[in-house]
């Protein structure tokens, strides 16, 4: 699931957990009721992070085999709600439903246009004070880099920020994931809130 980099999962989860703790100290923190894990794979982030921090976690994943694997792994986890088999390009969360929408290592599978539409849906899916967290590899140049092995793109930061803005989302915090093996892409975390007029 992490392309042979399973050993980075621990540091990844720890950094994500620290970010949630920081967010919950803000003046207008999101609630802890319901989270959505987007591109959940076999449920790693749901199992190790979100289900430990939220009352209910729903997950959406495109690959039916991964959804089945997640269903099996998470079957005794009382904090897991719906496991939805769908591509993010055709998925829109229920309006006003989620305190946190978590998107990790998946957005490179969507075209720029689909990603803007997906984020518009996520913006509407947030509850009051809710946030979207994006955790993705980021290219250093000014162009997206295509990976033929899994048909994904790695976007530069400026393009991600343009896409967020196009979806009327504002970046309210950014963190870099440290402790990743050298020679890989930088991994950035963005916390997004609806842009208020």
Ligand X SMILES: C[S@@+](CC[C@H](N)C(=O)[O-])C[C@H]1O[C@@H](n2cnc3c(N)ncnc32)[C@H](O)[C@@H]1O
Burial class (CB in 10 A: 0-12, 13-18, 19+), 60: buried
Q: Does 88 help bind ligand X (rule: CB under 6 A)?
A: yes
Please state at what angle helix 157-166 crosses helix 112-125, rounded to 10 degrees: 50
Q: Does 59 help bind ligand X (rule: CB under 6 A)?
A: no
Q: How far is CA 98 from CA 19, 70, 78, 113, in A?
A: 17, 20, 18, 23
Q: Does 45 help bind ligand X (rule: CB under 6 A)?
A: yes
Q: Does 1 help bind ligand X (rule: CB under 6 A)?
A: yes
Q: Which of these segments, 18-26, 81-89, 153-161, 182-190, binds ligand X (CB under 6 A)?
A: 81-89
CA dihedral 164, 107, 46, 74 (to 10 degrees): 150
The residue from 105, 119, 164, 190 that contacts ligand X (CB under 6 A) is 105
For residues 11 and 179, the answer to whether their CB atoms sit within 8 Å is yes
For residues 48 and 10, the answer to whether their CB atoms sit within 8 Å is no
Among 33, 29, 19, which Cα is nearest to 104's? Answer: 19
Q: Which of these segments, 14-22, 104-112, 167-175, 185-193, binds ligand X (CB under 6 A)?
A: 104-112
Q: Which of these segments, 13-21, 87-95, 138-146, 156-164, binds ligand X (CB under 6 A)?
A: 87-95
Q: How far apart are CA 137 and CA 125, in angstroms?
A: 24
The residue from 29, 87, 121, 156 that contacts ligand X (CB under 6 A) is 87
Q: Does 92 help bind ligand X (rule: CB under 6 A)?
A: no
In the shown chain, the binding pattern of residues 130 to 169 toward ligand X, with x for contact by CB under 6 A and - for none, equals ----------------------------------------
Q: Which residues bind ligand X (CB under 6 A)?
A: 1, 39-41, 44-45, 61-63, 66, 87-89, 104-106, 109-110
């Amino acid at each position: 699931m992490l392309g042979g980099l399973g050993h980075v999962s621990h540091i990844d989860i720890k950094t994500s957990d620290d970010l949630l703790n920081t967010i919950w100290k803000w003046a207008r923190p999101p609630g802890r009721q319901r989270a959505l894990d987007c591109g959940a794979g076999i449920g790693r982030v749901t199992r190790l992070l979100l289900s430990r921090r939220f009352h209910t976690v729903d997950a959406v994943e495109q690959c039916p085999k991964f959804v089945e694997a997640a269903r099996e792994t998470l079957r005794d986890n009382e904090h897991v709600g719906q496991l939805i088999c769908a591509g993010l390009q055709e998925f829109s969360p229920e309006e006003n439903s989620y305190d946190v929408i978590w998107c990790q290592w998946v957005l490179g599978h969507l075209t720029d246009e689909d990603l803007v539409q997906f984020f518009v849906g996520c913006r509407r899916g947030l509850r009051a004070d809710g946030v979207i967290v994006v955790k993705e590899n980021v290219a250093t140049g000014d162009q997206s880099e295509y990976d033929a092995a899994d048909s994904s793109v790695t976007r530069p930061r400026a393009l991600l920020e343009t896409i967020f803005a196009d979806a009327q989302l504002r970046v309210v915090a950014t963190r870099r994931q440290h402790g990743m093996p050298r020679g890989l892409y930088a991994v950035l975390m963005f916390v997004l809130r609806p842009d208020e007029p």
